[in-house]
Amino acid sequence: MPCEFSLAHYRDTLNMDPHLFGRAKDRPKIILAHDVDLFPPYALQMAKVEHSLGVRATYFILQHSEFYNAMSPENMAIWKEIRGMGHEIGLHYNGEYSPDLSIAHFAFAKMFNADSIELALHLNGLTPQPEIPPYLHDRREFAKEGYAYIADSGGWWRDKCICQHLHEKLLFVCHPIWWNTGADSLSPLTTDAIGVLLSAKSKWDKLVRDHRLKGMAK
């Protein structure tokens, strides 16, 4: 089993012992946490892989992103499908946009039908840190519960692939973009992003065309 960023290797890693992995709120041996920073369909693909193995994870969604509209009909359908597989939906907050997390989390829970109290700071160390209300749980606090930290940030490992750490008590922060696009993330992401834009353009063109035809028929 070669260590690589691919859905095949991801599946093989989880399948080594699916019972090790779980949602943040369940406190398994390995907390499987996904930061959905780019392209929500990639998150859905990983959620389906996990569901096929009986694994549930926590997906942290950005309310404010330069790269996707979390509340578009297409993405809202994705979050609903991910929730329907038993995965947890948590708030991936950005301190630049969410200075009051009590308000941000309340709005998030209402809009996304999410009951998770789990929070994750986007771009840790690069964005402002708001005050955490006592009834919410910031992901960094898992260190106090004895969880070591491992992440695939930037598409590389600081200390070997996750498959080499399954004996440890871990918070594994996983970014779906790397596992869906591999080492050359830019090319497939560009292709997929262009596909989304073309689809949106097609829907808009049809809407405008139908509106004009309806007006001409009067």
Question: Which residues in the chain belong to E strands, given as ranges?
Answer: 21-22, 30-36, 58-62, 88-93, 118-121, 137-138, 148-151, 170-174
The domain ranges of the chain are 7-183, 184-218
- Asked if residues 95 and 130 have their Cβ atoms less than 8 Å apart, the reply is yes
Q: What is the pLDDT of residue 204?
A: 61
Average pLDDT, the chain: 88
Q: What is the pLDDT of residue 38?
A: 87
Q: Tens digit of pLDDT for each residue in 118-150?
A: 999 988 877 888 899 999 999 999 999 999 999
Q: 3-class SS at 176?
A: helix
Rounded to an integer, what is the distance from CA 113 to the centroid of its chain?
16
Q: Tens digit of pLDDT for each residue in 72-97?
A: 999 999 999 999 999 999 999 988 88
Q: What is the pLDDT of residue 87?
A: 98
pLDDT at 194 over 90: no
Q: Tens digit of pLDDT for each residue in 8-61?
A: 999 999 999 999 999 999 999 999 999 999 889 999 999 999 999 999 999 999
Q: How confident is the model at residue 199 (pLDDT cuts 50, 70, 90)?
A: low
Q: What is the pLDDT of residue 99?
A: 79
Q: What is the pLDDT of residue 1?
A: 64
pLDDT at 201 over 90: no
Closest CA to 124 of 136, 105, 135, 140: 140
Q: How many C-beta neighbours within 10 Å does residue 123 have?
A: 11
Q: How confident is the model at residue 182 (pLDDT cuts 50, 70, 90)?
A: low
If residue 59 lies in a helix (H) or strand (E), which one and from where to where?
A: strand 58-62
Q: How confident is the model at residue 155 (pLDDT cuts 50, 70, 90)?
A: confident
| Domain 7-183, CATH | 3.20.20.370
Rounded to an integer, what is the distance from CA 131 to the centroid of its chain?
23
If residue 117 lies in a helix (H) or strand (E), which one and from where to where?
A: none
- Asked if residues 88 and 23 have their Cβ atoms less than 8 Å apart, the reply is yes
User: Average of pLDDT values for 162-189?
Assistant: 84
Say how far apart CA 182 and CA 67 lie, in whole Å.
Answer: 19
Q: What is the pLDDT of residue 168?
A: 96
